[in-house]
Amino acid sequence: MPELDFRIQPQPDDRSCGVTCLNAVYDYYGLDVPLLQLALEVEHLNPAEP
């Protein structure tokens, strides 16, 4: 299986693993969406809520 060239940035906090990964996928496909923009626009789940 070929290796993919992903550039994953460091997570800014404990809740941003999803948007950090999404940012790497977007970057891989040539989409320039800043990590901060994704963090603000992507809805986060709150595991403490039922």
Structural domain contains residue 19: yes
> Model's pTM, two decimal places?
0.77
Structural domain contains residue 37: yes
DSSP class of residue 32 equals -
Q: For residues 31 and 49, what is the distance between their CA atoms, to the nearest angstrom?
A: 33
Count structural domains, the chain: 1
Q: Name the burial class of residue 19, with classes exposed (0-12), middle (13-18) and buried (19+) by CB atoms within 10 angstroms of its CB.
A: buried
Residue entry with tokens 């986060």:
44
Domain that holds residue 31: 7-44
pLDDT digits (tens, 9 = 90+) for 5-49: 888 889 988 888 899 999 999 999 999 999 999 989 998 777 776
Structural domain contains residue 2: no
Structural domain contains residue 49: no
Structural domain contains residue 26: yes
How much is the pLDDT for 1?
A: 80
35 close to 9: Cβ distance less than 8 angstroms: yes
How much is the pLDDT for 37?
A: 94
Q: For residues 40 and 3, what is the distance between their CA atoms, to the nearest angstrom?
A: 30
